[in-house]
Amino acid sequence: MTQVSFEHRTVLLHEAVEALAIRPDGLYVDCTFGRGGHSRLILERLGPQGRLVAFDKDPEAVAVAETLALADPRFSIVHAGFETLAEALSGRGIRQVDGILMDLGISSPQIDDGRRGFSFRFDAPLDMRMDTSRGQTAAEWLASAEEADIAEVIKTYGEERFARKIAAAIVAQRCIKPVETTRELAVLVGQNVRTREPGQDPATRTFQAIRIFINRELEELKNVLPAAARCLAEGGRLAVISFHSLEDRLVKHFLRDASTTDTLPAWVMVRASDLAQPPLSLVGKAVRASTEEVSANPRARSAIMRVAERTAAPWPEAQS
């Protein structure tokens, strides 16, 4: 595979690594290697006995990570989505880790490489797969999916008001020629979105929705959060950076539920110390990118990081 260099600015770089409270001899996981910004800073904080395991679906990201692994024996890369976290760690003889970082969503190199089909700024094959070595492309799915299914994906994952109109247009277009490129899809969507947010291309929500669906992003996130929490040693930190409301809602609700105890009626005379301790404890408030970072990297504008710490309480089976 031909390697093309694209600039990547890691969002909340120092804030995320600080949130993990790195121990020099600790064992950490970077669930989304990308181009290795967070991983490299974690390795700087680790001592000779520390270890870092990273995950990524993208073969191009994995190629970068493999170069790092050759240079630093403390680091290893897993070519897989983070949904495989527990299984992959177990396969390496790892039961517990001291910190897990998730930097969700799409990376700058994926957006800026027109060949990948993620962006309507380029005219390219409509691929959208984070892992180009497997799975169905966006074009293949749009060519065969039922109209109702296309509408549901665009409405649910893109929160697009004109989802049914867009889906109908895609299916009607198939009778002439299937939608196969990013520009074809963007033009088709633009013709069927009657109003748009100021400064936002009318295709933005549809492209986001199809990308999330093709890569099972929300499904994987929902599955990995409890698995990640169970993998943490007592005192270990989980830090999650989200970039849109659907991701953040999942993270926020999961952390809230795992860090609170059942509420009892006011008349029940029970001491706080007698209540079951929750398995997670929230660490600080949600963190957003600074004004300076957003100015230097506008893509950081929507980023929000939430952090929790593992307590001594066992993980309840009901939350598995």
Residue numbers in the known binding site for S-adenosyl-L-methionine are 36-38, 56, 82, 103, 110
Give the phi and the psi of residue 281 in degrees, each rounded to 5: -130, 125
User: What tokens were used for 101?
Assistant: 């970082």
Helix then strand then coil, % of the chain, to nearest 5: 45, 15, 40
Q: What does the alpha-carbon distance between residue 245 and residue 205 come to, in Å, rounded to a whole number?
A: 12
* Distance set, CA 256 to CA 260, 280, 283 (Å): 6, 9, 11
Residue entry with tokens 């969503």: 105
> Residue 67: in which H helix or E strand, if any?
helix 59-71
User: For residue 272, what is the DSSP state?
Assistant: G
SS3 (DSSP) at 271: coil
User: What tokens were used for 2?
Assistant: 């031909």
Answer whether 136's CB lies under 8 Å from 172's CB: no
**CA-based Rg of the chain, rounded to a whole angstrom?**
21
What is the sign, positive or negative, of the torsion defined by CA atoms of 110, 107, 130, 126? negative
Give the phi and the psi of residue 162 in degrees, each rounded to 5: -100, 30
Q: What does the alpha-carbon distance between residue 205 and residue 138 come to, in Å, rounded to a whole number?
A: 15
- Tell me the DSSP string of 194-220: ----TT--TTHHHHHHHHHHHTTHHHH
Q: Which residues pair with 149 in a beta bridge?
A: none
SS3 (DSSP) at 85: helix
Binding-site residues? 36-38, 56, 82, 103, 110
